[in-house]
Amino acid sequence: MPQSGGDNYPQGDPPGSAMAVTAESLYLANLLLIPGIAFAILLAIYFRQGKSLPPLARSHLEQTFSASLWAGVLLVIVNIVILLLGGYDGAYTWMVVIIYFTVCHSTLILIGMLGLAKAMAGKCYRYPLIGRALPEACRRMS
């Protein structure tokens, strides 16, 4: 009887599940705790190990890397909007910041939490709208 996780794996967890959880955790840490540092670690893992990982880990790593890039692009866009509306001392600065955090940042966190839950369950997950296509092996697993 498996110790935990899927019934198809004798040790309980599918191959790559630990790295999948790590990738999702780094994504959330980038958004919430240590921005930049967590992204640098995620970037290093992506370029050093990305191609050699099992499909589950590669899927989560690609999703978190792509979503982190989107988060960065959105942050740059918000800063440009603030500058165009009068700079950081402008009247609309706080409105833009509050809308960004309420809509964009919280959405990125929620999809990261869903990704983490899927990684902990040993399942592939594609982030809605901003995610990359799943590898063929993940599509067969579903």
Residue 44 lies in a domain: yes
Q: On the CB side of 118, how many CA atoms lie within 13 Å of its CA?
A: 23
pLDDT computed for residue 4 by the predictor: 45
The span from the CA of 42 to the CA of 62, in Å, is: 10
Residue 101 lies in a domain: yes
For the cut 50, the answer to whether the pLDDT of residue 130 exceeds it is yes
Residue 8 lies in a domain: no
Domain of 107 in residue numbering reads as 17-130
Q: What is the pLDDT of residues 89-127, one digit of tens each?
A: 888 888 999 999 999 999 999 999 999 999 999 998 888
pTM to 2 decimal places: 0.84
* CB-based contacts of 74-78 (< 8 A; 24+ apart in sequence): 74/100, 74/104, 74/108, 78/104
* CB-based contacts of 110-113 (< 8 A; 24+ apart in sequence): 111/67, 112/24, 112/27, 112/28, 112/31, 112/64, 112/67, 113/28
Cα-Cα-Cα-Cα dihedral sign, residues 91, 92, 95, 100: negative
Cα-Cα-Cα-Cα dihedral sign, residues 54, 55, 57, 58: positive
Helix boundaries (H) for the chain: 17-32, 37-49, 55-84, 93-99, 106-120, 136-141
pLDDT computed for residue 139 by the predictor: 67
pLDDT computed for residue 12 by the predictor: 67
- Average confidence score pLDDT of the chain: 87
The span from the CA of 44 to the CA of 7, in Å, is: 32
Residue 62 lies in a domain: yes
Give the tokens for residue 102: 């309420």
Residue 136 lies in a domain: no
Residue scoring higher pLDDT (8 or 58): 58
Number of domains composing the chain: 1
Q: What is the pLDDT of residues 17-43, one digit of tens each?
A: 999 999 999 999 999 999 999 999 999
Residue 2 lies in a domain: no
